[in-house]
Amino acid sequence: MAEITPEITDSHCHLDFPDFDAERPQVIERALAAGVTRMVTICTKLRLEPQVRAISEEFAPVFYAAGTHPMSAQEEPMTSVEELLTLSAHPKFVGLGETGLDYHYTADSADVQKTSLKLHIEAAQHSGLPLIIHSRDADEDMEHILSEGLAKAPFGCVMHCFSSGPRLAEAALEMGFYLSMSGITAFPRSKDLRAIFAKAPIDRILVETDSPYLAPPPHRGKRNEPAFSAHTARVGAEVFGLSYADFAAQTQINFDRLFAKAAGWSAS
């Protein structure tokens, strides 16, 4: 009797990027073969939302989210809560972002990034859809803005591709948010990051690729793709001392709880 491949969800990928143009259907087929039965493809510039939406409409396992990436906040037109809510009405639009703060390369646009992030938070509060956060070298400001927003009204949130310090992890978890494991978690030198995840509640963990970036071993240095989230999930299972099947099942429950619109979607 053939072994059943556990199902997981790649909660964050970029299938609209040109890296996938030549073989997008094959990439999705390989994901399904690896047990990755759902993918959330992320729009990082709102003017590209029609292309990202079209991918979700073409492929049944693909959902999408849209927002303004913090590294693009200076160059892109400032969004509005109304614009985000209008986009969110699409049946396969399941999250807001990615948005956030990135002071690694774009600290000079910090004020614009903060304004953009606060608008996305407000849209998440009004829509009930989860916020998808990118945070790099901005832990203190990120904690403050998320906490300030939560004091006004509730919203769900995932710290995508989490690789920040333990303080931001603890703060996000205290606020009821989720941490997402990317290929970085599987890098041999990421012991400290794995230790942060090991202290988190298992019911607050998601997995992702952030493909085409950050391929986990044994594909490190190559183009990443949704199928490879299975490699990260196997490392996640080790971090939590679970079988792969049990870890996969728990992350599915977690995803369904946070991304309830995706969980409830039906092609009919």
Residue 2 CA: distances (Å) to CA of 5, 7, 18, 29? 9, 15, 36, 19
Structure token pair of residue 33: 């073969």
Alpha helices in the chain (DSSP H): 24-33, 49-58, 81-87, 110-127, 139-152, 166-174, 191-198, 229-239, 244-258, 260-263
pLDDT per residue over 6-23, tens digit each?
999 999 999 999 999 999
Q: Tokens 């019911």 — which residue?
A: 203
Instruction: Name the band, by pLDDT with cuts 50, 70 and 90, for residue 266.
Output: confident
| Separation CA 17–CA 122 (nearest Å) | 28
pLDDT at 136: 97
124 falls within a domain: yes
Q: Is 42 helix (H, G, I), strand (E, B) or coil?
A: strand
**Residue 169, domain extent:** 8-263
The interaxial angle of helices 191-198 and 229-239, nearest 10 deg, is 70
268 falls within a domain: no
Instruction: Name the band, by pLDDT with cuts 50, 70 and 90, for residue 74.
Output: very high
pLDDT at 4: 86
149 falls within a domain: yes
3 falls within a domain: no
Q: Indicate which CATH number applies to the domain containing 150.
A: 3.20.20.140
Cis before 212 (ω within 30): yes
13 falls within a domain: yes
> Is pTM, for the whole model, over 0.85?
yes
Structure token pair of residue 146: 């998320």
pLDDT at 117: 98
Domain count, the chain: 1
